[in-house]
Amino acid sequence: MSQSTSFPKTKIKILLLENVDQVAVQAFRNEGFQVEEIKHALTEEEFKVKVKGVHAVGIRSKSKLTEAVLAEANRLLCIAAFCIGTDQIDLKAAEKHGVPVFNSPFSNSRSVAELMICEILTLSRKLGDQIQGMHNGHWTKSAKDCHEIRGKTLGIVGYGHIGSQLSVLAESMGMHVIFYDIINQLPLGNSKQMPTLEAVLTKADFVTLHVPKTEQTHMMIGARQLSLMKKGSYLLNASRGTVVDLVALKHALTTGHLLGAAIDVYPTEPEANCKDWTCDLQGLPNVILTPHIGGSTEEAQLAIGREVSEKMIKFINAGCTTGSVNFPALELPVSSPVSHRILNIHHNVPGVLKSINGILGEINVSGQILRTSDSIGYLVVDVEKEASAEVQRSISELPSSIKTRILF
């Protein structure tokens, strides 16, 4: 059972880590919220201290919101990942604490897709090695193992926002596109969905990976999968560092089975910029290594900052959870200027709605909506002002309640 966490806007505290774009910072300040910016990621112990008393947290990919951190978040209303991935956040723990998590599922898709096209061209012409050679004073003009990408086959693994955009760009450059996804997707242009991952690996000249971090995708590209790829083909990973076995990839490269690779994500990544990073693939010819920059363009960060801050503001101001990755999606328009809005998050157990309706039965309700997931239910209800305090108290005392507050 929880106490009310409602505050005047000027007392709402927002903590933003990892250099979140200023468009988000300004959006929060325009609402009157207090904003604290930290340019880098925090360790778990640092995070446990900073999260106390904070109402909303915004991070990117390096900070980890663990169960231990969430346990210290005594005022937390919502969390935002200013990126696509949310595996750095314990979503189940956030749900248990009644905290919705928002992200940006597509705002950096174009940036990642463009980087993939850039790297496909770079690998096919061995530009990385040529550029490095010229800087070292080596003039080595050769056409060996250099090819046009026109007429080549691109195999996309994961045909979501990024994969589908990459598909369109690749076709516009004359490539044939095949893809694999665990669900049926609408093929764009002349692309073709393949029935298995193996079917893509055996036919593609270039294989790009765009899948989330899950148990199913852990080390999904290992020695066996690499051996299935065409001799002289290329692998590009812009998804998650746990998807590819880098030791097996190194073997495929050094034996000449693959002609090149481009890797933007790694099994472990430093929390801040450094000058002593190491990787098994360093020093290999025609291997592009980049520091997780797929979505690192000014355009993408601006779009992400705008999209995610808007979702957070709508939740803080109106209780809207549209776009949340761990909460039921719910959006109730303000039904009456003379009502108070109550938000209730509860365990999804039988009889909850009956109990809540029993409390609401004798008062005027101008708007009500409930959505559930497997674990929780989320209720938004607008009631007459005179009864709001008693309704909030009665609902919060239900054994099923996780968090109940009067929003306005």
Per 3-state DSSP, the chain is made up of helix, strand and coil in percentages (nearest 5) of 30, 20, 45
Phi-psi category of 197—alpha, beta or left, where left has phi over 0 and alpha has psi -120 to 50? alpha
> From the candidates 240, 340, 341, 405, which is the catalytic residue?
240
Q: How many CA atoms lie within 13 A of 252 on its CB side?
A: 26
Secondary structure class of 64 (helix, strand, coil): coil
Structure tokens of 376?
């929780």
Query: Is 46 labeled as catalytic in the residue annotation?
Result: no
Q: In what order do the strands lie in the sheet with 78-81?
A: 34-38, 13-17, 56-59, 78-81, 101-102
Contact 156, 177 (CB under 8 A): yes
Cα 346 from Cα 261, distance rounded (Å): 48
Query: Is 292 labeled as catalytic in the residue annotation?
Result: yes
Cα 397 from Cα 408, distance rounded (Å): 20
> From the candidates 44, 45, 269, 271, which is the catalytic residue?
269
Q: Which residues contact 49 (CB under 8 A, 6 or more apart)?
A: 72
Contact 238, 112 (CB under 8 A): yes
Contact 188, 172 (CB under 8 A): no
Q: In sequence order, what are the beta bridge partners of 304?
A: none
Amino acid at 173: M
> From the candidates 60, 161, 176, 292, which is the catalytic residue?
292
With tokens 């328009």, the residue in question is 333
Residues annotated as catalytic (active site), given as ranges: 240, 269, 292
